[in-house]
Amino acid sequence: MSMPEYDPNNVFAKILRGEIPCKKVYENDHVLAFDDINPQTPVHVLVIPKGAYVSMDDFSARASEVEIAALIRAIGEIARQLGIAADGYRTLSNCGTHGRQEVGHLHFHIFGGRQLGRMIGPAPDPA
């Protein structure tokens, strides 16, 4: 299966270009993080690379070592900055159709601020 093409009009591309607002929590040369507009937990932040990558599949294949290191390091730094590292948190990156990815720009969710449920919910019907 071929990788979907990056759509430069996706909502996170618009946030990166400053065309729509976000509640920024962190930024460096390679990474932007902001509050999810529809938070599922007391802390729900999205961490995105500034480069145009569709998903984890795309990013892991094409991104530079510097971009990959920057994103992973940022996730840890943001969790510490937000004060959730000690109690724990969850990172999640939905990828493609089976992963239920809605926005076609790679993003990692950081969920925290309360005890979370177990990892994966039931499959929808029909599975």
Catalytic residues: 107
The answer to whether residue 97 forms part of the interface with ligand AMP (CB under 6 A) is no
From candidates 5, 29, 65, 102, binder to ligand AMP by CB under 6 A: 102
Residue 5, CA atoms < 13 Å, CB-side half-sphere: 3
Measure Cα distances from 72 to 66, 118, 123, 124 in Å: 10, 23, 29, 31
Measure Cα distances from 83 to 26, 106, 114 in Å: 14, 24, 12
In the complex with ligand AMP, the residue whose CB is nearer, 46 or 79, is: 46
Contact indicator for 72, 63 with CB cutoff of 8 Å: no
Burial, 33: exposed, middle or buried (Cβ in 10 Å; 0-12, 13-18, 19+)? buried
From candidates 4, 10, 11, 96, binder to ligand AMP by CB under 6 A: 11
- x/- mask, ligand AMP, residues 29-68, rule CB under 6 A, reads -------xxx-------x----------------------
From candidates 50, 68, 103, 113, binder to ligand AMP by CB under 6 A: 103
Stretch touching ligand AMP by CB under 6 A, among 1-9, 56-64, 79-87, 101-109: 101-109
From candidates 49, 101, 108, 112, binder to ligand AMP by CB under 6 A: 101
